[in-house]
Amino acid sequence: PRKTHWTKDVTPELDGKEVILTGWVWDIRDLGNIKFILLRDREGIIQLTVKKGVAPEGVWSLTQSLGREDAIAVKGVVKASKIARAGVEVFPSEIHVVAKSKALPIDIWGSVETDLDTRLKYRSIDLKRPINSLIFRVESEVTRAIRETLYGRGFIEVFTPKIIVTSTEGGAELFTVQYFERAAYLAQSPQLYKEELTASLERVFEIAPAYRAEKHNTNYHLNEFISVDIEEAFANYMDVMDVLEDVIISVYERVNKVFSNELAKYGIEIKIPKKPFRRITYDEALDMLSRRGLKINWGDDVPKNGLELLSEEFNEPFFIIHFPTDLRAFYTKPLDSDPKISESFDLVIGGLEIASGSSRIHIKEQLIEALRKRGLNPENFESHLMVYDYGMPPHAGWGMGLYRLLMVLLKRDNIREVVLYPRDRFRLEP
Ligand code: AMO
């Protein structure tokens, strides 16, 4: 039988109505002549009340052998109740055990969670714990909000290849794949394709996996992650920072609207940021950090502890803009007034780099020059450079790490918690 309602939609207004519910036995409370069965589905938990002598005999006897996590289908009548969870209970007229469950290898009920490695080993079981599945319901709503905001600003969604032949973000971090008779790579980002597409589709976005063969094993790096990318024609870095602000704010607003009650149960509060976000230059960031005792040489990236200090100081999302040109990838446009620095930015939230972007070089000779300066061979970029001969518009864009955004939104310390099946240096299964 198919469910007629999700547990969360069984409200006191349905008093007296018959419903069909499906899900798993979360818990059973046995009071002798009365049993309370808590039924969990993706959206919540509801109480089933079975009274001896009142419930059909078959239902009563079945409850004797019911165990936690058995998958069940229930037909029953809703009753508004002052004492039950969410003000309702359901009196079953039928219960069908669809599949029995063995004892679980990890605890999903207690207040102390199993260590993360073991949880990930048993990920599908781990997701039975409501807080853990909530993370992925939030993720789905986050990508929906991102899509809607970008559609609203004239972007269309595109899909570019993940098996490619040229490095886009620097050579060292590529996974090689055997592609029939030749070697290919897994895409580190959709960078070159999204730029090429501005010459026809103008405003594009993509939400897709990106692959980095980075060896670091940190709490905020993975070897496969979801990158949210945009690219906009006839635009510069300021324009796309504005788009990024809208995207971030819409995400916070949406998650707050849909999940604030559920998240509050876990002490997670969503603070919606205001536009425009603070913008500090790379030089200003170095000055501020130097005053706090952290010396960074001009030309080096701002390290994680530097981002943390700045986030502590501002306590809100902020941009660092105008990075040294040499720090950024070859396609980044230098400032006309000072080519040592670039029309680039990073978005930082909660001490984490969430997104980075820039205006791009759109003049072929300059792009060839930039490739050469980084020791890259322009001949390897021929199919990309060709596009620049036929009316390549000025353009700008950014890439955002979806999992990093979820980490700060849901205040999780480890990126693996917000990824269904993370891929890191040591994890290729499940
Ligand atoms: P960048 O390399 O900074 O820029 O990546 C963009 C964003 O992706 C996230 N990210 C990661 N998340 C998890 N694990 C990783 N290993 C990882 N690496 C990156 C970060 C980062 O800010 N093409 C450019 C973007 C652009 O200019 O449009 C790019 O890839 O949140």
Nearest protein CA to atom 20 of ligand 1, as residue: 401
Instruction: Report pLDDT for 394.
Output: 98
Instruction: Report pLDDT for 112.
Output: 86
Instruction: Report pLDDT for 171.
Output: 58
Instruction: Report pLDDT for 419.
Output: 98
Where residue 389 falls among pLDDT bands split at 50, 70, 90?
Answer: very high
User: Tens digit of pLDDT for each residue in 205-215?
Assistant: 999 999 999 88
Round to whole Å and give the CA distance between 98 and 66. 11
Query: What does 62-90 look like in DSSP terms, one character per residue?
Result: HHHH--TT-EEEEEEEEEE-SSSGGGEEE
Specify whether the CB–CB gap between 23 and 71 falls below 8 A: yes
Tell me what the mean pLDDT of segment 318-324 comes to.
98
Where residue 129 falls among pLDDT bands split at 50, 70, 90?
Answer: very high
Evaluate if residue 332 carries a pLDDT over 80: yes
Nearest protein CA to atom 27 of ligand 1, as residue: 357
Evaluate if residue 262 carries a pLDDT over 70: yes
Tell me what the mean pLDDT of segment 131-160 comes to.
98
Which amino acid, one-letter code, is at 280? I
Non-local (6+) Cβ contacts of 216 within 8 A are none
Where residue 83 falls among pLDDT bands split at 50, 70, 90?
Answer: confident
| Model ipTM over 0.85 | yes
Nearest protein CA to atom 2 of ligand 1, as residue: 169
- Best residue among 188, 227, 240 to mutate for probing ligand 1's pocket (most ligand atoms within 8 Å of CB) is 227
Q: How far is the CA of 197 from the centre of ligand 1 (A)?
A: 20
Specify whether the CB–CB gap between 51 and 30 falls below 8 A: no
CB atoms within 10 A of CB 117: 10
Tell me what the mean pLDDT of segment 234-243 comes to.
98
Residue 423 marked ligand-binding:
no
Q: How far is the CA of 64 from the centre of ligand 1 (A)?
A: 54
Residue 331 marked ligand-binding:
no
Instruction: Report pLDDT for 217.
Output: 85
Radius of gyration of the chain (CA): 26
User: Tens digit of pLDDT for each residue in 153-172?
Assistant: 999 999 999 999 877 776 56
Where residue 1 falls among pLDDT bands split at 50, 70, 90?
Answer: confident
What's the number of CA atoms in the CB half-sphere (13 Å) around residue 185? 20
Report the chain's mean pLDDT, rounded to a whole number. 96
Query: What is the CB < 6 Å shell around ligand 1?
Result: 169, 189, 191, 212, 214, 221-222, 225, 227, 229, 353-358, 397-401, 403-404
What distances in angstroms separate CA 336 from CA 28, 301, 327, 342, 372, one per listed residue? 69, 22, 17, 9, 19
> Using omega within 30 degrees of 0 as the cis cutoff, is the peptide bond preceding 276 cis?
yes
Q: How far is the CA of 227 from the centre of ligand 1 (A)?
A: 7
Where residue 378 falls among pLDDT bands split at 50, 70, 90?
Answer: very high
Instruction: Report pLDDT for 172.
Output: 64
Round to whole Å and give the CA distance between 3 and 75. 9
- The tokens of 26 are what? 């979360």
What distances in angstroms separate CA 114 from CA 110, 120, 423, one per listed residue? 9, 10, 20
User: Tens digit of pLDDT for each residue in 263-302?
Assistant: 999 999 999 999 999 999 999 999 999 999 999 999 999 9
- Which atom of ligand 1 is the closest one to the Cα of 189? 30
Specify whether the CB–CB gap between 184 and 136 falls below 8 A: no
Specify whether the CB–CB gap between 54 and 38 falls below 8 A: no
Kind of pairing, strands 203-211 and 156-157?
Answer: parallel
Residue count of the chain: 430
Specify whether the CB–CB gap between 184 and 163 falls below 8 A: yes
Backbone torsion region of residue 267, taken as left when φ is above 0, otherwise alpha when ψ lies between -120 and 50, otherwise beta: left
Evaluate if residue 63 carries a pLDDT over 80: yes
The backbone torsions φ and ψ at residue 35, rounded to the nearest 5 degrees and listed phi first, read -125, 135
β-bridge partners, 364? none
- Which atom of ligand 1 is the closest one to the Cα of 415? 13
User: What percentage of the chain carries pLDDT values higher than 90?
Assistant: 95
- The tokens of 13 are what? 């207004």
Round to whole Å and give the CA distance between 59 and 50. 8
- Which atom of ligand 1 is the closest one to the Cα of 354? 31
Backbone torsion region of residue 177, taken as left when φ is above 0, otherwise alpha when ψ lies between -120 and 50, otherwise beta: beta
- The tokens of 197 are what? 């597409």
Q: Give exposure, 63-84, as e/b (b: 16+ Cβ within 10 Å).
A: beebebbbebbbbbebbebeeb
Q: How far is the CA of 135 from the centre of ligand 1 (A)?
A: 21
Tell me what the mean pLDDT of segment 178-195 comes to.
96
Q: Is 348 exposed, middle or buried (0-12, 13-18, 19+ CB in 10 A)?
A: buried
- Best residue among 207, 225, 359 to mutate for probing ligand 1's pocket (most ligand atoms within 8 Å of CB) is 225
Q: Give exposure, 268-282, as e/b (b: 16+ Cβ within 10 Å).
A: bebeebeeebeebeb
Instruction: Report pLDDT for 216.
Output: 81
Evaluate if residue 102 carries a pLDDT over 80: yes
Nearest protein CA to atom 22 of ligand 1, as residue: 355
